[in-house]
Amino acid sequence: MGNVFISIKNFIRKHHLEVLKDVALFILITAGIHFAWRFWQTQFNYAPIRDFMYGLMGQMAAEVYRESVWVIDRLLDITRVDETMYMYFPNRAIMYVNDGCSGLKQILQFGLLMLIFPGPWKKKLWFIPLGMLIMHLTNIFRMIGLAVIMNNWPWYWHFSHDYIFRPLFYLVIFLLWMFWVERIRGSGDEVRGTGEDILDPR
pLDDT tens readout for residues 140-190: 999 999 999 999 999 999 999 999 999 999 999 999 999 999 999 875 545
The two most distant CA atoms of the chain are separated, in Å, by 68
Mean pLDDT along residues 68-82: 85
What is the DSSP secondary structure assignment for residue 154, as one 8-state letter?
G
- The overall average pLDDT reported for the chain is 87
pLDDT at 172: 98
Residue 138 φ/ψ, nearest 5 degrees = -60, -40
Q: Decide which of 175 and 198 is more confident.
A: 175
Nearest to 66 by CA among 87, 51, 49: 87
What is the pLDDT confidence band of residue 73, given thresholds at 50, 70 and 90?
Answer: confident
CB 192 within 8 A of CB 13: no
Q: What is the rounded distance in angstroms from the CA atom of residue 106 to the CA atom of residue 27?
A: 15
Mean pLDDT along residues 1-11: 62
Q: What is the rounded distance in angstroms from the CA atom of residue 184 to the CA atom of residue 84?
A: 41
pLDDT at 19: 75
Taking CA atoms, 143 is separated from 69, 95, 103, 121, 152, in Å, by 9, 10, 11, 33, 14
Q: Which residues contact 193 (CB under 8 A, 6 or more apart)?
A: 120
Q: What is the rounded distance in angstroms from the CA atom of residue 185 to the CA atom of residue 58?
A: 34
- Asked whether the predicted pLDDT for residue 128 surpasses 80, the reply is yes
Q: Tell me the per-residue pLDDT of 78-95, one tens digit each, with 9 for 90 and over.
A: 877 788 899 999 899 999
The rounded percent of the chain whose pLDDT value lies above 90 is 71
pLDDT at 82: 81
Q: What is the rounded distance in angstroms from the CA atom of residue 48 to the CA atom of residue 80?
A: 40
| Rg of the chain, C-alpha, whole Å | 21
Q: Tell me the per-residue pLDDT of 29-51, one tens digit each, with 9 for 90 and over.
A: 999 999 999 999 999 999 999 99
| pTM metric for this prediction | 0.84
pLDDT at 145: 97
- Strand segments, DSSP code E, in 39-188 are 81-83, 86-88, 94-96
- Asked whether the predicted pLDDT for residue 115 surpasses 70, the reply is yes
Nearest to 138 by CA among 127, 124, 23, 130: 130
pLDDT at 191: 56
DSSP notation for 74-105? HHS----EEETTEEE-TTS-EEE--GGGS-HH
Q: Decide which of 16 and 18 is more confident.
A: 18
